[in-house]
Amino acid sequence: AQSVTQLGSHVSVSEGALVLLRCNYSSSVPPYLFWYVQYPNQGLQLLLKYTTGATLVKGINGFEAEFKKSETSFHLTKPSAHMSDAAEYFCAVSRSGGYNKLIFGAGTRLAVHP
């Protein structure tokens, strides 16, 4: 069975500081990995995804994530936080191929303070 663990339900950073949101997964088959962002009172928007190929994936709004198979991790980073990055972030995993359902982590709420 697949699962996702997001370390830290709340993360607070200063504007301009590094953002690091942690995600570890378990999967018995090669996974597809995703980060979604949810702004207040909105649905989820895809930030980036890893399917195959390059393990460092760049997404929208300056975010990137690196797939590390040996560590079963897919941490999300951004070099310099903006106030507009304050939102909830969800890591998700699915199987490659087939009727691949998406399994989500519990989410990490990012606060950015001046």
Which residues in this chain contact another protein in the complex, by CB under 8 A?
Answer: 4, 6, 9, 32, 34, 36, 41-46, 49, 51, 90, 94, 96-107
In angstroms, give the least distance from the CB of 103 to another protein: 8
In angstroms, give the least distance from the CB of 83 to another protein: 22
In angstroms, give the least distance from the CB of 12 to another protein: 17
Kindly list the distances between the CA atom of residue 40 and the CA atoms of 44, 66, 77, 89, 113, in Å, as whole numbers in the listed order.
10, 26, 21, 11, 17
Q: How far apart are CA 43 and CA 95, in angstroms?
A: 23
